[in-house]
Structure 1
Amino acid sequence: MTSSSEVTTGRIVKALSGYYYVMPEDADASSGTIQCRARGIFKKKGLSPLVGDRVVFSRTENGEGMVDEILPRRSELIRPPVANVELAVLVFSVSEPALNLQLLDKFLVHIEHAGIDAVLCLSKQDLTGGSEPSDDEGAQGEAAASAEAVERIYRPIGYEIYHTSSRLGEGMDALNQRLAGHLSVFAGQSGVGKSSLLNAIVPGLSLETNEISSRLGRGKHTTRHVELIEIGGGGLVADTPGFSQLDFTELGVEELSSSFREFRPYAEACKFRGCTHVHEPGCKVLEAYHEGAIEASRYDHYVLFLTEMKEKKRRY
């Protein structure tokens, strides 16, 4: 039996084995979370509470709680399953693993499609040799070139870029200030230093880091469930296993092109509605690309993703 005397709002900060751990909105981490079950009505409606959801819950007599209502979401990610994310921090290392612009654009498409603000975080800046010269000048040069390419391509189209080194503690204050007051998710391929960054931002957190596995040549996943971590300044970060699959099954052609933010002003002036920006006459996006107003790598990746999308749809 639930006690109707105490109905309050809170946020789900962890979900595990059918339980939802809710932080009451008038509380802080020191007062702890309430372990809740979700009402059966959600299952009937095909709804599932997510980490990040703001909910109405009631306390039960055994000191636990019941999630009664999910409040409207401002955003929803499917993989990882998190609601109300306001900011996505895309973490890419300048080296080890090498920076992959195609993968970066794929992440950006999904973040833009979800309606979430994205900032780029270039980790492992110590490998560029800016602060500490290393013996490997070739690797240093590649890392510095990667950082310069990201600055040249992404800052002009409006993305904020943070240069960090969790080993040297560089760039942490600026990133921390950006995260304050927001629910953020860290995303990026394995081994780029997401856990190291979070450990540097939240002293004493001690997340297991995804060291690069020399045998597999890729990072090992260490995070098994989604959990929100308080980082001070009213900020919360979703510690997640990352975006495990990035496919385009839920996107239409127009949604894909509008996920490339620099295409938008040109696409509005295209001659044909539903223009794919590949071969149509009077296409302003193509025109801008040929004039150098749209970066070649960005346009090439758009065409690549469009092809991938069409092939997937043919297969299903």
Structure 2
Amino acid sequence: MHGWLLITPAFVMLSAFAFIPSISSLWTSLFSRGTRRNPSEFVGLENYQTLFGDPTFWLVAKNNLFYAGVTIPASIIFALIMALWANSKIPARSFVRTAYFTPTVLPMIAAANLWLFFYTPSFGILNQIGSLFGMDSVNWLGEPETALWAVCMVTIWKEAGFFMIFYLAALQTIPPDLKEAADIEGASRWTYTRRIVLPLLMPTTLFILVNAMINSVKLIDHLFILTKGGPSDSTKLILYYIWENAFAYFDRPSAAAMTVMVLLLLGVMAAIQFTFLDRRAHYR
């Protein structure tokens, strides 16, 4: 009884905001789109079949795969580099840590507006800098070839500082005796980092990897400010497409079907990560 009482608050919160909405989405995805004249009917897996035949869905899935493939490794690598530097004995170390963490405390809407000023054609900071070197003005958010890269840059800039905090906390738990022993053995800084620091950071890396994977399908706030999914759906991501179907087109069953697919995909990927990578991370 004591154990059940301890988990009750977490169970109530998870039920209200995770379990019940997930079951509701699954149930909604099995019905047709209803109107006042034509109420929704049970159609089974028809919404999923329609979804697989939708070319826009596959374009959005491709965009999200590219978005995740760029933002996840880049955010982790930059976070690790920043943490290693912020943890070393450098002048103004507190200022460096604060500077790295500052983008994290900004709301994504504010960050998107800031980068919108950077990306403005002709007058943006990036184009102003490029003009100093004789480069032509680029419409970063208006060209399909550059728009998704521009969105990825905003995410990397926003997420790297957040992940750095976890790496920095993990680095401070590494016993200094290991560094002293490595120095006595004549190990270089690169050897110490590769052989000792990185293996000890694997549990933290696994935790960050799971969070980065979730964020790759969760962060869409900046799309409303920067591109609204354009141009030509080149920056439309899966969660934005779900929102668009549910609240712009009022097609809740299709949105629910996509939601269920995202949940299943995230669950499978998390299970794989914790099953195979967790053993390597904790040396089992």
TM-score w.r.t. the length of structure 2 is: 0.25
The structure with more radius of gyration = 2
Higher percent of residues as strand: 1
Query: TM (normalized to structure 1)?
Result: 0.23
